Chain A
Amino acid sequence: MRETAVRFGEGGGLAGIVTEPATGSALAGLPAFVFLNAGVTHRVGPSRVTVAMARALAGLGFTTLRFDFSGIGDSSPRTDTLPLGESLIAEIRQAMDGLARSHGVEQFVLGGICSGATLSFLTAREDERVVGGLLINAQGHLHGTDPVLSDKLRAATVSRHSWRMTLKSSFRSKNWKKALSGQLDPLRILRMLFAAPLRLFSGSKDAAPDHWQGDEASAGHTRLDAGDELAALAARKVRLFHLYCEADEGLDYFRLVLGKRLDGLASSETARHEVLLGANHTFTMLWSQHRLVAAVCDWAAEFTVQAAAERTR
């Protein structure tokens, strides 16, 4: 494995590390992985998991780039007035452009945790060079940009998350202990658990989206096009891996938005989803970090198989 520090983007303001297989070049036909920041955590990731993923993938023959968005980690802040949503995707494109120039790579897998996952998905929709999305604890990526719908989904997600954590999760006994010992604000718990259902019961139209179960009956709703988004990427043969930690709210969003269509849309020839029971949003426990790396490598092997098949054609 070999690692090189790189600068790219306008004025060389973006900082990253390229990790390559020991031979110095990736196996022919494999896409390169580009890892995005998890929130404002710099490119090594929480507990250094992005470094671990990059080095494990290099061991499988992949080239990877982990970089910092402008203003994060070692990258310079932007000096223009480009809106954040546009600058982030522009910088991801610059990362792919840079790797294409330096390594001759034409296809990319975008990946990240939390906001890094969401941005990976949004960029995959727009850039045909993207052949895969490693979406770890993604949230808010499947329903478009309608702010009213976003607010409703957010409220419904929080409520659903609270119910699941209290009644069904591996952490339910811990949560009850905390509640009974007064470590949690009981009023806050009640609000989280019952606010959305009470509004629904009272008939408030603002309670939650009428199609929040994401079932067939609501599939035609023009504002909720999660199915269309995923189908469009599947049609392009973009491989998607939704990996969620059990404690992550994104899992509730994912299930809420896709509803009964989840298995059909998120598990197919090009899509996979997995829940890591007992793990939290930032993979604090070492076992969960090891499992994350193993799951990513297992998924990445699909690209190896595909590349080998294409080479023998």
Chain B
Amino acid sequence: MALAVELIFFGGDDRGLFGCYHAPLPPARECAFVLCPPHGHEDIQFHRVLRQLAVLLAEAGFGVLRFDPSGCGDSVGDSDDWGLARWQDDVGSAMDELRQRSGVHRVGLIGLRLGASVAMAAAARSDVDSLVLWDPVISGADYLSELRGLHQGMLAHAHVTPAPVSRAAAHGGASTGEELLGYPMPGQLSAELSSLDLLASTERPARQALLVESNKAAAQGDLVRHLGKLDVAVQHEPVSNPHLWVWNEDFAKVHVPRKILELITAWASEVYP
């Protein structure tokens, strides 16, 4: 049976979030998942990965909603609309939309990188049954440092100049403020990221969680222990793939880590038999 994928805008005209709803193949399970994408260049590079994950989950009987947060992808807005609090609200809208479309009340969140951090924060204030955190950004300050390092590396190696070469090229609006790997980093978002610390969370985000760790350099042991203290049943899965999130100028080199996608699908199928 072919999978049905609906393209939708949801969240009302003011929010205008774009999403893709993957209906489950029967028999449908008693849970559905919202996929929370990473941000910036990682979002572009991982679009295909999230689609493949959605297909696997839908084939396994889960309804899935992929979506673009405010100001990202095909959703309404631009970088002026970026912010962690707003994106947490977007996740709430996505959960409402998914419940309505799937007819299933029990919802889980699957987030990648910053999307995982947003998902965890959103889960703490919503009724989320389970969480999959794939290389979550545990410290926003470290994430900013990492992006800034990659950006400096890009400036040193890629064939770009930091500013227009000619006055004619400057026509059309010079960029102001910080930029990182092809995207602006608005001051408001930068400030929010600087204070982001998942280890400081005090609310239990979900009953159970899967933590996928692809890079030992960003080990998640502290987060595993922290979630344990919050009474979350955590399964920690290191799957070595240390270069997964490195910026790549050539977007044609899309890497789909099938093993991780199958791991997530198998975990979800076991939790929701």
Contacts and interface: CB of A to CB of B under 8 A. Distances in A.
Contact of B7 (A5, A51, A281): A5
A5 B18 contact: yes
Q: Is the interface of A mostly helix, strand, loop or mixed?
A: mixed
A287 B175 CA distance: 5
A178 B73 CA distance: 35
Interface in B218-273: 249-252, 254
Given A278-B169, A291-B164, A47 B182 contact: yes
Contacts of B161: 170-171, 277-279, 285
A152 B140 CA distance: 50
B160 A46 contact: no
Given A246-B159, A284-B158, A286-B179, A46 B169 contact: no
Nearest to B166: A277
Contacts of A46: 44, 182, 251
Interface string B117-158: 000000000000000000000000000000000000010111
B158 A74 contact: no
A92 interface: no
A280 B159 contact: yes
Nearest to B252: A39
A294 interface: yes
Contacts of B171: 291, 294
B165 interface: yes
A267 interface: no
B254 A40 contact: yes
Contacts of B182: 46-47, 282-286, 289
A39 B164 contact: no
Contacts of B16: 3
B173 interface: yes
A15 interface: yes
A89 B73 CA distance: 25
B74 interface: yes
A109 to B, nearest CB: 19
B172 interface: yes
Interface string B53-88: 000000000000000000011101000000000000
Nearest to A165: B159
Contacts of B104: none
Contacts of B199: none
Contacts of A191: none
Contacts of A291: 164, 169-172
B163 interface: yes
B9 A5 contact: yes
Contacts, number: 139
A122 B179 CA distance: 36
A221 interface: no
A98 B171 CA distance: 35
Contacts of B169: 276-279, 287-288, 291
A7 B156 CA distance: 42
Nearest to B73: A44
A40 B158 contact: no
A3 B77 CA distance: 11
Contact of A40 (B170, B173, B184, B251): B251
A219 interface: no
B17 to A, nearest CB: 11
A281 B47 contact: no
B36 interface: no
B151 to A, nearest CB: 9
Given A7-B7, A278-B165, A287-B175, A40 B252 contact: yes
A73 interface: yes
Contacts of B183: 47-48, 286
A176 B254 CA distance: 29
B181 to A, nearest CB: 7
Interface in A274-313: 276-295
Contacts of B157: 174, 178, 183
B5 interface: yes
B47 A247 contact: no
A88 interface: no
Contacts of A246: 159, 165
A247 B173 contact: no
Nearest to A295: B172
14 contacts: A42-B48, A47-B182, A47-B183, A73-B48, A73-B51, A76-B5, A174-B156, A278-B161, A280-B159, A280-B249, A285-B162, A285-B182, A287-B175, A290-B172
Interface of A: 3-7, 15, 17, 38-44, 46-48, 51, 73-74, 76, 165, 169-171, 174, 178, 183, 246-247, 276-295
Given A48-B72, A285-B160, A286-B184, 14 more contacts: A3-B76, A4-B9, A6-B7, A41-B44, A44-B74, A74-B7, A171-B161, A247-B159, A277-B164, A278-B160, A279-B169, A284-B160, A285-B175, A289-B182
